[in-house]
Structure 1
Amino acid sequence: MDTQSLQAFIAVADTASFSLAGERLHLTQPAISKRIAALEAQTDAKLFDRINRRVSLTEAGRLLLPQARRILQLVEESRRQLHDLSGQVAGSLTLATSHHVGLHRLPPVLKAYTRRYPGVDLDLRFLDSEQAYQGVVSGAIELAVVTLAPRPNPQVESVPVWTDHLRFVAAPEHPLAGASRISLGELARHPAVLPGPLTFTRDIVVDAFSRSGLTIGVALSTNYLETLKMMAGIGLGWSVLPESMIDDEVTVLAVEHPPLLRRLGYLVHRERTLSNAGRAMLAQLESMRADLVETPDRA
């Protein structure tokens, strides 16, 4: 089996589309079809069913998929280790980050890194934090800088770099905006706009209410904090935002509860051998972390 055919196979399996797989790999759809046909000939098995333009894995395809991922990971690990013998910080680094962290926390780190290591080909992927976790666990992503899970995966080393202090906010004209003291119970009686279900930030908020025996009525959800701010600001419900995002578009509610803390940092698989480029990125993040210890971050 050649690695190019395996890459095409994984891309089609992930996207359920030959055309989207071609876009991911910068190939034409006929080229993708040719590689899949070659792999099916090599394995003597049909890997995909195509019914009414819907592409799905066959039983043989489902069996091959985890093995294909493992093979490509081993090939990449071997290539990286051979390259790293030189000690140079070069090659490629697959780095995942969430939109909020990537826009508000990571730029100075990336700026310093790319200036210091111009030979690194940075494959930067914007994903939800939960997706990035899965990418690190599966081996598809070498390093992620995201919101850390409240309950970490034991396969993953998660190291906090920043702390977001989340505050309860609402539109200036919200019924609770002028109150001097608001209990969680009072807040729970009003609709909320929060990140989507199964997100780490949503878990943090829901857990705070659950410990008091309360449930939240969520009117709308989105995983983009900038959109949550807009929805709260126009009166669609109360929300939570990092202090760094709060301005005159929203009002901080006087809720009788300490600010909720959200840890942001980096993830690596405990059993993965990092590339020189990956180790250099960790050093850059650790330098940022050390600076923040000396100058506590409240943003």
Structure 2
Amino acid sequence: MLQLPLRRLDLFCTVVDEGGVTRAAERLHVAQPWVSAQLRSLEKAVAAPLFVRDGRRLALTEAGRRLYAWATEVLAGGAQVQRDIEHLSSGTAGSLIVATSMAIGTYLVPPLLTELRKERAGADITVRISEPAAALRSVEIGEVDFAVATWSDEIDHGALHAEKLWEESLVLACAPDGPPHADAIDLAEIAELPVVGVPAGVAFDHMLTHQLRRHGVDRVPYVIRLGHAEAMKRAVAANDWVCLAPRYVVADDVAADRLRAVEIRDARLVEGIGLFHRAAKYFSPLQEAAVATLREISVARAIGAAAPVPPVAPSDG
């Protein structure tokens, strides 16, 4: 098993990830018969069938599932070692690659990492922004050091270390002169408004749908679903629509009077912020500093949320 070529393991994982030989061959820019031949050689090497035909698709056998779990860990470790060696060879003071989901990577993480960069003149910091599932996948295969993405209790994070850091409150973002014409509404009133949503099935959609259903809202009348917060905000402002968004996403727009933030009176909707990394991940000093910064914010948010509200002083009138 340990003598299996990494290239063959990578091809096997690609077939699994792509859901079949044809798509794997297209992704790797090789002929389909060559991929099939490599899989047969791999099955011969491990002395067990790895796939069974399930209708028109390939399904992993028990041996295939075990090999896939082992192979992904081996490939991820290899990618990490390669990156570490490259950084040592280039003399880089420190390297950090973070994967994030869309809004978090656009508004939340960059200010934190730019401050970290100011403190470390030789640091090489990269933030990759993608859909949450893609961000977590890049962690699994060792392309990035960790991910900061929307947390959803309903999503299985597999073998990754998953840590919920803190929660960001959601508000109803509205056009300056559009509905609703109030500073606060009840959650049920959203059903009467034209709402811009995120693509169905992404982590933010899972998270929001679960919270809405918990508060008795089973259906939201989405007029359109858009894949990035900037597109959502522009659609809201241009069409007198609304969207549910984290407060940090709309703060600058509200301050500039491009949008209004309407509070939800009878429900607290939040976006969980999660930290994800491989369980066996080795963190460099720079990477440890970045993780420590995130955890410090988490502790500060928790203390702030637990602090008692100061009493209102009586007026002289």
TM surpasses 0.5:
yes
Report how many aligned residue pairs link the two structures: 277
The unaligned stretches of length 5 or more in structure 1 are 23-28, 50-54
Alignment of 1:192-271 (within 5 A): 192-219=195-222, 220-235=224-239, 237-244=241-248, 245=250, 246-247=253-254, 248-253=257-262, 255-257=264-266, 260-269=269-278, 271=279
- 1:59 to 1:149, Cα distance in 2 relative to 1, 3 A: closer
The more displaced of 259-268 and 107-116 is: 107-116
Q: Equivalents in 2 of 1:169, 1:212: separation in Å?
A: 19
Residues 188 and 215, structure 1, Cα contact 8 Å, conserved in 2:
no
**One-letter amino acid of the counterpart of residue 187, structure 2:** L
Asked whether 1:41 is paired with 2:27, we answer no
Shift of 1:266: 2.0
Alignment of 1:83-98 (within 5 A): 95-98=98-101
Residues 171 and 232, structure 1, Cα contact 8 Å, conserved in 2:
yes
Asked whether 1:280 is paired with 2:289, we answer no
98, 104, 107: which one aligns with 1:104: 107
Over the matched positions of the two proteins, sequence identity in percent amounts to 19
Match of 1:26 in 2: none
Cα root mean square deviation, aligned? 4.7
Shift of 1:226: 1.5
Q: Equivalents in 2 of 1:255, 1:237: separation in Å?
A: 16
- 1:110 to 1:208, Cα distance in 2 relative to 1, 3 A: closer
Match of 2:190 in 1: 187
Residues 137 and 156, structure 1, Cα contact 8 Å, conserved in 2:
no
Shift of 1:44: 4.0
Q: Residue 253 of structure 1: SS of its match in structure 2?
A: strand
Q: Equivalents in 2 of 1:124, 1:222: separation in Å?
A: 22
**One-letter amino acid of the counterpart of residue 175, structure 2:** A
Q: Residue 158 of structure 1: SS of its match in structure 2?
A: strand
TM-score by length of 2: 0.64
Shift of 1:90: 7.3
Shift of 1:144: 0.8
The unaligned stretches of length 5 or more in structure 2 are 306-317
Q: Equivalents in 2 of 1:2, 1:212: separation in Å?
A: 53
- 1:33 to 1:275, Cα distance in 2 relative to 1, 3 A: farther
Residues 177 and 251, structure 1, Cα contact 8 Å, conserved in 2:
no
